[in-house]
């Protein structure tokens, strides 16, 4: 597939210079973090509900909404998708269980 999260993040960034009358992304960015965070939270909860209900089509839709709103939230804080991917890549050096155990030993 040629469409990637990178393409979507770039599209969202490009909307910064667009008009709010033609771009939903721009209306969100203009509205600010409380609105963006609220939308992200709503979409995340709707994703959880779709997963719990086992509704495959709803889960695909809500996951897409969640990814989109997360990328808008990152853009609003000037955090690039690459910043997040670098952190995920760093984590591949260790399994989640090993990381959890190391954290437990420190606490």
Ligand X SMILES: N=c1c2ncn([C@@H]3O[C@H](COP(=O)(O)OP(=O)(O)OP(=O)(O)O)[C@@H](O)[C@H]3O)c2ncn1[C@@H]1O[C@H](COP(=O)(O)O)[C@@H](O)[C@H]1O
Q: Residues in the site for ligand X, rule: CB under 6 A?
A: 8, 11, 15, 23-26, 39, 65, 68
The residue (of 15 and 81) whose beta carbon lies closer to ligand X is 15
Separation CA 57–CA 51 (nearest Å): 10
The residue (of 37 and 101) whose beta carbon lies closer to ligand X is 37
**Please, what is the minimum distance in Å from the beta carbon of residue 78 to ligand X?**
18
Q: Which distant-in-sequence residues (6+ apart) come within 8 Å of 9 by Cβ? A: 71, 74, 75, 80, 81
**Please, what is the minimum distance in Å from the beta carbon of residue 89 to ligand X?**
24
Q: CB of 75 within 8 A of CB of 12?
A: yes
The residue (of 35 and 51) whose beta carbon lies closer to ligand X is 35
Closest residue to ligand X, Cβ-based? 25
The residue (of 45 and 101) whose beta carbon lies closer to ligand X is 45
**Please, what is the minimum distance in Å from the beta carbon of residue 47 to ligand X?**
12
């Amino acid at each position: 597939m040629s469409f990637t999260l990178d393409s979507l993040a770039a599209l969202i960034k490009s909307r910064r210079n667009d008009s709010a009358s033609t771009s939903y992304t721009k209306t969100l960015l203009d509205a600010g973090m409380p609105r963006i965070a609220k939308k992200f939270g709503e979409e995340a909860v709707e994703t959880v509900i779709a997963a719990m209900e086992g509704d495959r089509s709803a889960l695909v839709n809500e996951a897409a909404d969640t990814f989109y709103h997360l990328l808008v939230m990152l853009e609003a804080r000037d955090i690039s998708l690459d910043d997040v991917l670098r952190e995920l890549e760093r984590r591949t050096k260790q399994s989640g269980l090993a990381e959890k155990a190391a954290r437990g030993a420190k606490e």
